[in-house]
């Protein structure tokens, strides 16, 4: 029987791509999501997962649930986790736990906790709790994955990122400018200490990131205790380099204007991903061109994301 994996937030951008990779690797994902940032489909299945089922020809177990709903969560834990003795966890952490980088590229030994935003702090706190848990109870194993900046979409163009409202992140915004949904990109500052003055990040193809979770699940089988890995490519690109890469992929001009810096942003952030290669046998395979081509295919095929109305 296929091994079950519980995926929280599995209807979202990273979640849906990970569910697809899990299915293709022979796992049986059980997904919960509260639709905070996901679109409902016609039936009981989120639209993203309906498409994942269509793409893979396999079925996904889904339950609508808010992870803050204590009673429901307790029920789920009793039903699935404690009852089945689950003590293996993959946690979606973030490069923001490093705060303002003291050196680059960032390796896993870089100090954490000096976070520049509350989101990063919450990831840091949860990392610490999981570390303590694994320390106190040796039966637990956890892999903490520190994501850098996931972009792109599945090569089919059927699933991708569909932020609700005005996109906060660079590439969803850029692709909405390319498709004509927004007028121009606001570049948040061009006076950083980087080559062209704009912020530099480690963009990683979301399919590579999703595959990192499969590698993490394999690691858990080794009774690995608590392990931490960066998931990035090791290469940083500036905002303007990303704009040019998307212009090339889409064949569209992407107008932009430079505005003030955004609070909480750091100048540059990119990974040393060598530990994941050494210990997980995982490395990012898809480069910048593929990330932008796949993002553009998704955007073009789904001009208004998963919703049907324009």
List residues with catalytic annotation: 119
Give the per-residue contact string, 248-277, with ligand UFG (x = CB under 6 A; - = no): --------------x--x---x--------
187 binds ligand UFG (CB under 6 A): yes
Give the per-residue contact string, 126-155, with ligand UFG (x = CB under 6 A; - = no): ----------------------xx------
The vertex-255 CA angle with 249 and 261, nearest 5°, equals 110
Sheet with 88-94: strands ordered across = 88-94, 141-147, 226-231
Residue 195 CA, chain-centre distance (Å), reads 26
Q: Which is nearer to ligand UFG, 60 or 185 (CB)?
A: 185
CB under 6 A: which stretch of 6-14, 134-142, 179-187, 276-284 binds ligand UFG?
179-187
At 76, phi and psi to the nearest 5? -60, -45
Q: Is 79 helix (H, G, I), strand (E, B) or coil?
A: helix
173 binds ligand UFG (CB under 6 A): yes
Task: Candidates 30, 95, 130, 144: give the one binding ligand UFG (CB under 6 A).
Answer: 95
201 binds ligand UFG (CB under 6 A): yes
Contact 9, 48 (CB under 8 A): no
Contact 182, 79 (CB under 8 A): no
Residue ranges in 225-273 assigned as alpha helix (H) = 239-250
Give the per-residue contact string, 7-46, with ligand UFG (x = CB under 6 A; - = no): ----------------------------------------
**Alpha-carbon distance 224 to 138, whole Å?**
10
Q: Which tokens sit at 31?
A: 């997904």
Q: Which is nearer to ligand UFG, 173 or 296 (CB)?
A: 173
Helix 47-56 × helix 13-24 angle, to 10°: 20
94 binds ligand UFG (CB under 6 A): yes
Give the per-residue contact string, 226-245, with ligand UFG (x = CB under 6 A; - = no): -------------x------
93 binds ligand UFG (CB under 6 A): no
309 binds ligand UFG (CB under 6 A): no
Min CB(203)–ligand UFG separation in Å: 8
Q: Which is nearer to ligand UFG, 96 or 272 (CB)?
A: 96
At 75, phi and psi to the nearest 5? -60, -45
Strands 200-201 and 237-238: antiparallel
Cα maximum dimension of the chain: 56
78 binds ligand UFG (CB under 6 A): no
Residue 185 CB coordination number (10 Å): 22
188 binds ligand UFG (CB under 6 A): yes
Min CB(179)–ligand UFG separation in Å: 15
Q: Is 195 helix (H, G, I), strand (E, B) or coil?
A: coil
Residues that bind ligand UFG (CB under 6 A): 94-96, 119, 148-149, 168-170, 173, 185-188, 199, 201, 239, 262, 265, 269
């Amino acid at each position: 029987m296929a091994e079950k994996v519980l995926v929280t937030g599995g209807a979202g951008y990273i979640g849906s791509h990970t569910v697809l990779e899990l299915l293709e690797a022979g796992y049986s994902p059980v997904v919960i999501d509260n639709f905070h940032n996901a679109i409902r489909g016609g039936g009981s299945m989120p639209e993203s997962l309906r498409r994942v089922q269509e793409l893979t020809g396999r079925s996904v177990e889904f339950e609508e649930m808010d992870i803050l709903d204590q009673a429901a969560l307790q029920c789920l834990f009793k039903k699935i986790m404690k009852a089945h003795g689950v003590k293996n966890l993959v946690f979606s952490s973030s490069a923001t736990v490093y705060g303002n980088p003291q050196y680059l590229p960032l390796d896993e030994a870089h100090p954490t906790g000096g976070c520049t935003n509350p989101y990063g702090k919450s990831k840091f706190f949860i990392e610490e709790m999981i570390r303590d848990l694994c320390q106190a109870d040796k039966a637990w194993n956890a892999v903490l994955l520190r994501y850098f900046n996931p972009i792109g979409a599945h090569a089919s163009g059927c699933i991708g990122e569909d932020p609700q409202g005005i996109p906060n992140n660079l590439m969803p915004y850029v692709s909405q400018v390319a498709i004509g949904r927004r007028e121009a990109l606001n570049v948040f500052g061009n006076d950083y200490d980087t080559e062209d003055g704009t912020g530099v990040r480690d963009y990683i193809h979301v399919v590579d990131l999703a595959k990192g979770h499969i590698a993490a699940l394999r690691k858990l089988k080794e009774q690995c205790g608590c392990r931490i890995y960066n998931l990035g490519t090791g290469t940083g690109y500036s905002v303007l380099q990303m704009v040019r890469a998307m212009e090339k992929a889409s064949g569209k001009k992407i107008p932009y204007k430079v505005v003030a810096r955004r609070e909480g942003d750091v100048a540059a952030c990119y990974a040393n991903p060598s530990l994941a290669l050494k210990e997980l046998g995982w490395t990012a395979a898809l480069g910048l061109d593929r990330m932008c081509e796949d993002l553009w295919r998704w955007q073009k095929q789904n001009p208004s994301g998963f919703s049907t109305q324009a």
